[in-house]
Amino acid sequence: MTIGVSKELVWVFSTLSIAVTLGWLWDATHLVLFSYIVFYITRNLLSIQKFERWIREDKLSVDFPSSGLWAEVINLVDNKIRRLSSKLNLQHYNAEQNKEALMRLKDGIVSLDARGKIEWFNWTARKKLKLNTKDIATNIELIVRIPAFIKYLNEDNNPEPLILHVLQGIPGTVSIAIISYYKDHRLIIIKDIHELYNASQIHKDFIANASHELRTPLTVINGYVEVMLDENVKNKWQKPLEQMHNQSARMQSIIDDLLTLSSLESENVAEELAIVDVPELLNIQQETSVQISQDSHKISFDVDENLLINGYIKPLTSIFSNLIYNAISYSPKGGVIIIKWYKTNNSVVFSVEDHGIGITQKHLARVTERFYRVNGARSREGGGTGLGLSIVKYALETHKAKLIVESKYGLGSKFTCKFPVSLAINAETIN
């Protein structure tokens, strides 16, 4: 542009010099200068007109200035347009490529605007939700009339996906997740997990059925061993029978835990939601903990006696007993164990804190896995099944609660269960 201005100035000075010289020779300087000004203005107006036509119309069919300042302007604008066009073509290519990739994904994807209306969807979503092009700009709630889906869609935070076993009348297990993006727009992602779900179900059924089938013969064996121990057997059989009895009791404990875990995983809680007197349950746990500890630990219970909860007795009992038992098992003699039951503004809390051996950081993320042991030898010596924290995890999930584990190796551990505050009930309001 600077070059164009320079050229224009050179041209102006050159032509003006010629005009002034001619005016002086003809003794008509004023007339020549006036004529020059009219010529220059007219020339620029015509160039502006051509530039405007070039902008408004197809530039190839327009006679645009070939020299002067406006020719330079047109050249600069033309180069800018070419660069922008190149970028737009590249962006369009990338957008089409991304769109084609999304269209071919096996997962269904639906894009919603800020008002919940459909913007676009891929082929899988079209099949899963029975959509067609006329559904664009239609509210998704008018198409997918499933109460659980509508509730999930309208919730602000959905950390866990929604699992449906029938979608738009089509049987099959699907996982639905919602992701927010760009100014309150949302993506609905539909994943077919039917095979994975079936495999998981088969696995759960196998554990439940195998455990159930093993329970009867093991009960019979254990019964006969107990009878033999009660009889006057010879001394040489005393120790083997005691070992058999201990191991059969351990197997019975593992089977019981497997059945409990299987029931919790399948969400088959064999009881109705009811008001649970947690202080009474913890009072029983306090008596049991004294027997297990055999007065070898300093166990304190800090319990809000008026704090009850809407829940399930058996899963809650499993939570309390497993966490307290673990604290006793992994604390040295004389160790301090603090058990609390209280309410905060946001949740109802049950916590068990010990000053035992603790857990290293690499184990913390896996402590709730089935049969996972931080110290296998010690767990077996203490009679643990390796399923306790898994049971706690699933028992908490039946109450929409979560487990927080804090630990430092050599200093102890703290297990905190946080229940939704909406489950809390004040005992004074029901008396």
Q: What string of DSSP letters covers 325-368?
A: HHHHHTS-TT-EEEEEEEE-SSEEEEEEEE-SS---HHHHTTTT
Q: Residue 77 in contact with residue 59, Cβ under 8 Å?
A: no
Summarize pLDDT for 230-279 with one digit per residue, the tens.
Answer: 665 556 667 766 767 667 766 776 677 676 666 666 665 556 788 999 99
Strand 185-192 and strand 170-181: the pairing is antiparallel
Average pLDDT over residues 67-73: 65
pLDDT reported for residue 304:
92
Domain limits, CATH 3.30.565.10, in the chain: 274-429
295 torsion bin: left (phi>0), alpha (psi -120 to 50), beta (else): left
pLDDT reported for residue 212:
64
Alpha-carbon Rg of the chain, whole angstroms?
A: 40
End-to-end CA distance of the chain: 88
At which residue do the structure tokens 């093991």 appear?
218
Q: Is the pLDDT of residue 414 over 80?
A: yes
- Bridge partners (DSSP) of residue 120 are 111
pLDDT reported for residue 377:
46
Model pTM? 0.52
pLDDT reported for residue 423:
92
Strand extents, DSSP E, 210-306: 274-276, 298-303
CA-CA-CA-CA dihedral for 267, 270, 275, 280, to nearest 10: -110
Question: Could you tell me the fold of the domain covering 105-192?
Answer: Beta-Lactamase (3.30.450)
CATH code of the domain made up of 196-265: 1.10.287
How confident is residue 348, by pLDDT bands cut at 50, 70 and 90?
A: very high
pLDDT reported for residue 206:
64
Going by the DSSP 8-state scheme, the letter that residue 374 receives in this structure is: S
pLDDT reported for residue 207:
66
Domain limits, CATH 1.10.287, in the chain: 196-265
Q: Report residue 298 CA to chain centroid gap.
A: 40
Distance CA 218, CA 240 (A): 17
Q: Measuring CA to CA, how many Å separate 89 from each of 44, 82, 84, 100, 113?
A: 35, 10, 8, 16, 26
Its sign, for the CA torsion 244, 247, 250, 255, is negative
Domain limits, CATH 3.30.450.20, in the chain: 105-192
Task: List the one residue out of 399, 379, 383, 176 whose CA is nearest residue 271.
Answer: 399
pLDDT reported for residue 281:
92
Question: Could you tell me the fold of the domain covering 274-429?
Answer: Heat Shock Protein 90 (3.30.565)
**Rounded to a whole number, what is the largest CA-CA distance in the chain?**
151
At residue 409, the 3 state secondary structure works out as coil
